[in-house]
A and B are shown apart, each in its own frame.
Chain A
Amino acid sequence: MVKELRVTPIRNGTVIDHIPPGMGLKILSILMHDDPAGRTMTLAMNVSSARQGKKDVLKVEDLELTPEQVGKIALLAPEGTINIIRDSNVVKKEKVVLPDRVVGIVRCGNPNCITNQREPVEPEFVVVSRSPPRLRCLYCERELEDIIGNIL
């Protein structure tokens, strides 16, 4: 299939599929930020998709995502799919799920919130809705207006 040719096939790794167009770059930068090993990552942007119109697809070699990374991806791509590739085959396919609580992956947008002072707690949010994601700070009770801009 043509779509399979857009990006080089990988033997082992992870394919993050069904990313809203434009969000792939943000996810890429998050994954690069916590990947000192410098793994090979390939991003395809604005790929035509039967389901979505356009989508971004991100492929990372030799990496399986941590739950924390999946949490961040769920905020950026609530309809995303995570495919685990082993020996060039999709061996596992999971829809991302945003848990009921989002802990330590986004900061509160309220500068006067106690979580933005120097206290030994991680910012924590209650998920009010999943797609589009809406988060309410467990501490100051404000809804986070700019989720993407506040990802840690």
Chain B
Amino acid sequence: MFKGRDIISIKDLSLDDINVILDYARRMVPAARGEENLPLLSGRLMGRLFFEPSTRTKLSFDTAMKRLGGGAIGFSDTSSTSVKKGETLADTIRMAEAYSDCLVIRHYNEGAARLAARFSSKPVINAGDGAGQHPTQTLLDLFTIREEKGRIDGNHVVLAGDLKYGRTVHSLAHGLALYDVEVSLVSPRGLEMPGEIVGTLKEKGIGVREMNSLEEAVADADVLYVTRIQAERFPDPEEYRKVAGSYRVDLNLLDHARDGMIIMHPLPRVDEIAPEVDTHPSAKYFVQAFNGVPVRMALLDLVIRGGDLDG
């Protein structure tokens, strides 16, 4: 049962939970595209509390709510709110939950969404808490793999780029750990996946390989998940340029890739995927961004109404 449930961390969700969400998200696709009228949340309000700006996630949640006939209230940065005056998050939540049917929160402190859930009787969805969790991103990533490859099980997923600081790949690794997949990790020295997460993958019986080059990794990959390598991580700009160059996905690299491999990226991308790749059939990062809408529609309806299409 999803009605009233908080979605705070991917680790709170079981394999069954995730599959229910992904199945329901598939049902939402026509309405997400505007091809079907599906006013399941007509008259309902989403309280969208963004203490930190995020264009993409905000747009995607607002669209999801509106595609289901509901509305959104809230703020998208704190400059005009009483948070500025020193109001606690707990108080802001107690006020906002009275106005809305569910809360979607993005905050700069880790654990903020979990705290919000404690003070709210309405369901809370975490839209990113500092360097912490961003479960709806992981769900849309899993949804994209499933829709594009037919299933999640059986795929060889390459996670590439900054695997140390990228919260997206950490959560995705936890999500993938529930499935029967193979994972390869490709990252510059010093930006490797934390040992704890590699350990979790191995404990779940997942084959994990650490590789040095993208070329080697894509040769038998089904999914190439690319993340941004930030210049700030490197003390030496020259070193950064070298590393960034060797992690660039371009048509040349795709010559080495297995047929049917898909390329994903949480966006925004900078230089890590060459624009020439955008029109290649492997490029799925814009589809992936769109998938945020049906996945968030599914979640909103599941937590607000319980997700019963007939009722």
Q: Counting CB contacts under 8 A, is B88 at the interface?
A: yes
Whole-angstrom CA separation of A139 from B107 in the bound complex: 13
Extra 18 A-B pairs, beta carbons < 8 Å, given A108-B111, A139-B110 = A110-B110, A112-B109, A112-B110, A114-B111, A118-B88, A119-B88, A120-B88, A120-B90, A121-B115, A121-B118, A139-B111, A139-B112, A139-B114, A140-B111, A141-B9, A141-B111, A142-B110, A143-B196
Q: Which of B129-137, B149-157, B216-224, B240-248 contacts A (4 or more CB under 8 A)?
A: B129-137
* Chain B residues whose CB sits within 8 angstroms of the CB of A25 once the complex forms: none
**A-B CB pair tally, cutoff 8 Å:** 56
* Interface footprint category on A: 10 to 19
- Given the contacts A112-B130, A139-B115, A141-B132, A117 and B109 also touching, CB distance less than 8 Å: yes
Q: Counting CB contacts under 8 A, is A137 at the interface?
A: yes
Q: Is the CB of B114 within 8 A of A114?
A: yes
* Interface footprint category on B: 20 to 34
Interface residues of B in 86-145 (CB under 8 A from A): 88-90, 107-112, 114-115, 118, 129-133
* Chain B residues whose CB sits within 8 angstroms of the CB of A113 once the complex forms: 109-111
Whole-angstrom CA separation of A19 from B130 in the bound complex: 39
Q: Is the CB of B109 within 8 A of A114?
A: yes
Shortest Cβ distance from B133 into A: residue: A141
Q: List 6 A-B contacts (CB under 8 A).
A: A115-B115, A117-B88, A138-B111, A140-B109, A140-B132, A141-B111
* Chain B residues whose CB sits within 8 angstroms of the CB of A141 once the complex forms: 9, 11, 110-111, 132-133
Minimum CB–CB distance for A150 against chain B, Å: 15
Q: Is the CB of A117 within 8 A of B89?
A: yes
Shortest Cβ distance from B109 into A: residue: A114
